[in-house]
Amino acid sequence: MTDEKTAPAPGTPAGAIPVPPEAVFWQALANPGVPKLYANTFSVVLHPTDIALVFGQAGAVSGMVSLTYAVAKTLADRLQQAVASYEQTVETVVTAAEALEKKFRERPPQS
């Protein structure tokens, strides 16, 4: 039996952690056993049964996570929603990393 404190809110997707996202963030931050990763690059690797995200920082691999396709799709949807919310709040469109990289490659050399 699930008690009310840990029961998912109505409409919570299957597999979601049944606590507020802010609480999960602070729990993870405070727990030394939870790896904390930073990435400024990533690669997506497709496998027949899952998707691997390989993260990089300063030209070196900094971590990896493997996801089922269902979880990967849910993650992509949630990230898209989060970015859209951020853009609406700050009234600015976030430029994708590929577009930024292209602009830097195309600019004339600085003297």
The 10s digit of each residue's pLDDT in 51-68 is 999 999 999 999 999 999
- pLDDT < 50 stretches in the chain: 1-5
Let me know if residue 21 belongs to a domain. no
- pTM given for the model: 0.69
For the range 29-34, what are the long-range contacts, defined as Cβ-Cβ under 8 Å and sequence gap of 24 or more? Answer: none
| Structure tokens given for 49 | 């049964």
Residue 4 inside a domain? The answer is: no
Name the maximum alpha-carbon separation found in the chain. Answer: 69
Write phi, then psi, for 40 (nearest 5 degrees): -120, 5
Q: Does 66 map to a domain?
A: yes
In a domain, 101, yes or no: yes
Give every CB contact of residue 18 below 8 A, 6+ residues apart in sequence: 6, 7, 8, 9, 12
Range of the domain at 77: 36-106
Residue 22 resides in a domain: no
Does residue 30 belong to any structural domain of this protein?
A: no
Residue 17 lies in a domain: no
